[in-house]
Amino acid sequence: MTTPTPGRVWAHVGQPFTPGSDPQPAYDVLILGAGRMGSALALALTERAPHLKTLLIEEGGLPNEDGATILAPGIWTTAHLPAAQHDAAHWTLERLRDLLGDDLQARPYLTLHDGPTPGSGPTRDLLATHPHSLALLDPGVLPHATAHEAHTYRPGTLAQTAAQSAIRRGTDLLLNTRATPHPGGRVTLDRLTVTNTHQIVTHETHTLHAPLIVLATGAHAPTQAEHHLGVHTRHARAYRQTPHLATPSTEDAPVLHACGLTLRPQHGAYTLIPTIHHRDPHGYTPQGGHLTGVPTGLRRETLEDLVGLMDALPALATSDLHLGRSLADIPGAWLALLHGHPDAPPTHQRLDDHTHLLLGGPHADTLGLWTADALARQIAGGRGQ
């Protein structure tokens, strides 16, 4: 077996990008967006279709500082998946193990209920060895719990690791470049730079053609498809914030899930992953809320949800919950909602003769790698064009 020649990386505009001239190759595949989905596809293509030359294009750095990937919960669990998706989830888990090694951490996942459900046990017993976690909730209000397996990781690390492995196997990477798809397999590129007054400006533009283009630009992808390719999709997007709860957590603390809210132990405290509000219409701008007249950085709908959970989770009613003053104080990201549903699994979809859409969405932590691989298999089988 021959060792592949590593791909090239253009990180900044100081490195000339000269498509079409030697040694710059013509590309078979252009992947727009190097989040976890785009990076995973790039890697899968090096395995499934090593004869194809791929360019991965990313508007920011790697991993990008915002976007769904960096702010995703990073929780692999089958707790909320229908049985038909379990095989794909376990396939993804094996790949996560290969790619992340010790950066993937096994922990319990407890779903808390106010009444008994099949397979549930007493919350107090299940959390007996985790007193820190028990202290977050009122076991009188949530007396029953079901236990699942979970693995936590950083999705940003996954995107980076997958992209780096792809580059070692021959994929090229172009960073700080905004890509716009056009019909007919054409993509225009704006190589971005920052002025000394901190404005992002286009340094130079390029046009590339390729038989295959994949939109992996996360929540932007459906809008790009509509605006630039004239293809309407049924996908939507939502703005999800992940507030911080400063209540201490231990290394082995379980992930807790109650009434739509997930509490993920992270950095010795908790990251809260609220219910997704899928009522963000096109053009919606998230607004901060108000609590007893004081402005908060949590969007109004999320704040209302958390206030409603304060009886069950008294820790939310303490100063441990970071409310911020403006939206920018609480981390948040736009998330693609496949077919407009918060529960739909990641998907890929053919948009026109040259273009595919690859979307992760809320279940990308558990199923994203499998979906990226499914698209790579389709492309390798010659069914991509």
Q: Which is nearer to ligand ADP, 55 or 263 (CB)?
A: 55
Q: Which is nearer to ligand ADP, 187 or 263 (CB)?
A: 187
Q: Which is nearer to ligand ADP, 137 or 219 (CB)?
A: 219
Size, binding site for ligand ADP by CB under 6 A: 25
74 binds ligand ADP, rule: CB under 6 A: no
CA quadruple 280, 36, 266, 292: dihedral, nearest 10? -10
Q: How far is the CB of 10 from ligand ADP (least distance, A)?
A: 13
179 binds ligand ADP, rule: CB under 6 A: yes
Of 243, 274, 297, 360, which lies in the binding site for ligand ADP, with binding defined by CB under 6 A?
Answer: 360
108 binds ligand ADP, rule: CB under 6 A: no
Of 73, 74, 218, 332, which lies in the binding site for ligand ADP, with binding defined by CB under 6 A?
Answer: 218
365 binds ligand ADP, rule: CB under 6 A: no
Distance, in Å, from the CA atom of 84 to the CA atom of 134, rounded to the nearest integer, reads: 33
**Six token digits for residue 348:** 């890929």
Q: How far is the CB of 61 from ligand ADP (least distance, A)?
A: 9
55 binds ligand ADP, rule: CB under 6 A: no
Of 178, 237, 244, 363, which lies in the binding site for ligand ADP, with binding defined by CB under 6 A?
Answer: 178
Q: Please report, as ranges, the residues that interact with ligand ADP according to CB under 6 A.
A: 32-38, 57-60, 64, 67-69, 178-179, 216-220, 359-360, 364
